[in-house]
């Protein structure tokens, strides 16, 4: 019972953090969101700062906040800024754990999103076309 209570407290803190992150996006997150919101990319619905809940066992839950999420294709898009250069091993572990839960993670640098959108869009569309077949 205590663990369930602690998991709920943790979830509420994560939810508050996700809401704050939505209110203060990076320029790359803003740009990506402008390109995909309102089903602008192939009619797909996207969420931003989406909470992924991973049940580790019957007592422990782990939470991740994904930059962008498309439920139709179980697709997570992560945008990597300067801080990610210092935490690449952490990002790799996080990606592996999220993929164990059935998601696919595509990572792009902020520079790719802001200056090479056509390549980012093509990569996402290629993934979707592969997943349909």
Split at pLDDT 50, 70, 90, the class of 90 is confident
CATH number of the domain that residue 32 is part of = 3.40.960.10
Cα first-last separation, the chain: 45
Please state the pTM of the whole predicted model: 0.87
* Predicted local distance difference test score (pLDDT) of residue 84: 47
Backbone angles phi, psi at 130, to 5 degrees: -65, -40
Residue 94 CB contacts under 8 Å (≥ 6 apart), including other chains:
64
Nearest to 119 by CA among 129, 109, 104: 109
Helix (H, G, I), strand (E, B) or coil at 41: coil
Domain count, the chain: 1
Residue 120 pLDDT > 90? yes
Residue 70 pLDDT > 90? yes
Find out whether 84 and 2 touch, Cβ atoms under 8 Å: no
Domain that holds residue 13: 2-132
């Amino acid at each position: 019972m205590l663990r369930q209570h602690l998991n709920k407290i943790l979830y509420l803190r994560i939810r508050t953090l996700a809401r704050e992150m939505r209110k203060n996006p990076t320029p790359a997150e803003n740009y990506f969101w402008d390109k995909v919101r309102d089903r602008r990319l192939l009619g797909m619905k996207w969420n931003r700062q989406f909470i992924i809940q991973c049940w580790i066992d019957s007592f422990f839950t782990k939470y991740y906040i994904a930059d962008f999420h498309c439920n139709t294709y179980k697709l997570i898009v992560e945008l990597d800024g300067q801080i990610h250069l210092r935490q690449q091993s952490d990002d790799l572990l996080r990606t592996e754990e999220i993929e164990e839960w059935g998601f696919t993670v595509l990572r792009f640098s902020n520079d790719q999103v802001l200056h090479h959108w056509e390549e980012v869009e093509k990569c996402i569309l290629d993934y979707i076309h592969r997943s349909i077949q």
